[in-house]
Chain A
Amino acid sequence: MLAEVLRRERRQVLASLTRLTGNLDLAEDAVQEASIIALRTWPRTGLPPNPRAWLIVAAKRRAIDELRREAIRPGKEREAITLALQRAPDDFPIGVLRDDQLRLIFTCCHPALAAEAQVALSLRVLCGLTVAEVAGLLLIPEPTMAKRLTRARGKIAAAGIRYRVPDTADLPERMRAVATTVFLLFTEGYASRSNGLHERRQPCEEAIRLGRLLVALLPGEAVLEGLLAAMLLQHSRREARFDDAGDIVLLGDQDRSRWDRALAAEGVSRAAEAIRLSSVVPERFAVVAAIAACHAIAADAAATDWRAVVAWYDVLVLLDPSPVVLLNRAAAVAESGEPAVALAEVEALEGLEEYFWWHASRAELLRRLGRSGDASAAAKRACTLTKSEAQRRLLARRYGETVTGR
């Protein structure tokens, strides 16, 4: 209960402290210490009427103490920060609180930081995970992760990434960057499971939590609604994506009674909202969500409106004509009853020779066209490109054990 309150308020308190001190490191240390004091004090005194204000006061005090202790910072700067902390009120109006959270988000997802650094910082700073937890979640050794986080913080300070909400002119582009980072975090959890590693639902759920926060802080934005919708819809299928033996179940074969209906319904309505909010050119995430929604509203695989799916993919290709998008579009073309057309499109794609799913898709299309020898060869090639047991078993079930090369 107390831990829950702390968890809820921590990011907000950190966001405000970072604004007051202009320094993420100092703010993080102060909030960390304030949380420890709270955990010691609250069981005795009971929960204060305004826990956030309590934490802000405690964190301000810790930050001032810390500034007094440290000697590296120039005296003038130290005085300026101390003064800002002393003069700041104990709590802030709702608009200021909201902007503080946005500042924190846009700083952690600044495009001048490497993508993996953005993901790590978001988990550490926005989600409040410990360095060890972030390392565990991203499957990276803890010392490496600690270094990566230190380097990212160092760049923020030295390169002058300012703690602020982007200008209106830059906001759409920066929101897309934030959405991309959050989605990267989401797929981190998603991909790990299909790679045959232990189940890690947590990255997905942290990402969805951030998605909800973004929609709450910046309502009415197509890209953020689309991001949240795409994540909810994909996550609604989590229980059906693997069978009891841990094998991959492809979308068409999934037991739809295992889909999370509540999550899917929310995803569908948010996807519709994202499309409605889009301008002439829809947001990429809105289109991704629309495609997922086409599947969510079909009672079973046979009822899928594949022509609608292909049409949405046509829009997606306009926004992102990457080979992987074209590959997925071709799969939809095949499902809409044109496997020969799909195969020609798949074979025309360049740059996917090392991509597992390109060979797996070719195998599937060849199989449907009755070319079983070619299909097995493609499946065999696919098997050489993956370390994932689940992906190998998927092909072995369809094309026989020999394709796994054992």
Chain B
Amino acid sequence: MPNYVALIYSPDVDWSRPEYSDEMAAYGEFGQAAVNVIRGGAVLYQTNTATTVRVTGGKGGDVVLSDGPYAETKEALTGFYLLECADLDEAIKVASMIPAAWNGAVEVRPVLLMEAPTPDSVEARRAEARASSVTT
């Protein structure tokens, strides 16, 4: 089954504040309703905690930092879900149940999942690379 991310664009606020408890409860309800398709997700801290990293002059060049998110927008990327759905229609249906869709926006995109590297898998890849450099 294809995987999708649902990127949540909403007002850039501190979701832990008490005035957002209703909204957080709505997210809790969504989480329960969509339990069969949610494979992961996260709430992002506010954009004023973000640091944008660029390396000028290509790989190995100077690291240039800027304080803030990549793009300043009225609504910010404030969270995401990872969904596993049958098709785009199902992903859209699920996305439309996310509270941000009602007052902000949710962007649905297909994703190709990568396995997170572990020390073992890194070592295996190194060995593979060595072996192929010997044969050629």
**Which A positions have Cβ atoms within 8 angstroms of B?**
110, 112, 158-162, 164, 166, 170
State A170–B89 Cα separation when bound (angstroms). 10
Name which residue of chain A comes closest to B87, CB basis: A162
Q: B85 — which chain A residues lie within 8 A by C-beta?
A: 160
Name which residue of chain A comes closest to B1, CB basis: A160
State A110–B89 Cα separation when bound (angstroms). 10
Q: A110 — which chain B residues lie within 8 A by C-beta?
A: 88
Most central of A110, A160, A161, A170 by chain B CB within 10 Å: A160
State A162–B85 Cα separation when bound (angstroms). 11
Q: Is the Cβ of A162 less than 8 Å from the Cβ of B110?
A: no
> With contacts defined as CB atoms under 8 Å apart, how many contacts are there between chain A and chain B in the complex?
24
Q: Is the Cβ of B92 less than 8 Å from the Cβ of A112?
A: yes
Q: Is the Cβ of B92 less than 8 Å from the Cβ of A160?
A: no
* Those of B56-91 within 8 Å (CB) of chain A: 85-89, 91
Q: What 8 A-B pairs come out closest when comparing CB atoms?
A: A162-B87, A160-B2, A160-B88, A160-B87, A161-B88, A159-B88, A159-B110, A158-B110
Given A162-B87, A166-B89, 9 more A-B residue pairs with CB atoms under 8 Å apart are A112-B88, A159-B88, A159-B109, A159-B110, A160-B88, A161-B87, A161-B89, A162-B86, A164-B87
Name which residue of chain A comes closest to B93, CB basis: A170
Nearest CB of B to A168, in Å: 13
Q: B109 — which chain A residues lie within 8 A by C-beta?
A: 159
Contact sample, A vs B, 14 pairs, CB 8 Å cutoff: A110-B88, A112-B88, A158-B110, A159-B88, A159-B110, A160-B2, A160-B4, A160-B88, A160-B91, A160-B110, A161-B87, A161-B88, A162-B86, A162-B87
Nearest CB of A to B50, in Å: 28
State A65–B41 Cα separation when bound (angstroms). 43
Nearest CB of A to B108, in Å: 8
State A166–B89 Cα separation when bound (angstroms). 9
Nearest CB of A to B37, in Å: 13
State A308–B40 Cα separation when bound (angstroms). 57
Q: B92 — which chain A residues lie within 8 A by C-beta?
A: 112
Nearest CB of B to A72, in Å: 15
State A162–B4 Cα separation when bound (angstroms). 14
Name which residue of chain B comes closest to A174, CB basis: B89
Nearest CB of A to B16, in Å: 34
Name which residue of chain B comes closest to A112, CB basis: B88
Nearest CB of B to A242, in Å: 43
Q: B91 — which chain A residues lie within 8 A by C-beta?
A: 160
State A392–B81 Cα separation when bound (angstroms). 54
Nearest CB of B to A164, in Å: 8
Nearest CB of B to A158, in Å: 6
Contact string against A for B residues 1-16, beta-carbon threshold 8 Å, 1 for contact and 0 otherwise: 0101000000000000
Q: B87 — which chain A residues lie within 8 A by C-beta?
A: 160-162, 164
Nearest CB of B to A75, in Å: 18
State A68–B134 Cα separation when bound (angstroms). 33
Q: B110 — which chain A residues lie within 8 A by C-beta?
A: 158-160
Name which residue of chain B comes closest to A158, CB basis: B110
Q: A161 — which chain B residues lie within 8 A by C-beta?
A: 87-89
Most central of A110, A158, A159 by chain B CB within 10 Å: A159
State A76–B109 Cα separation when bound (angstroms). 25
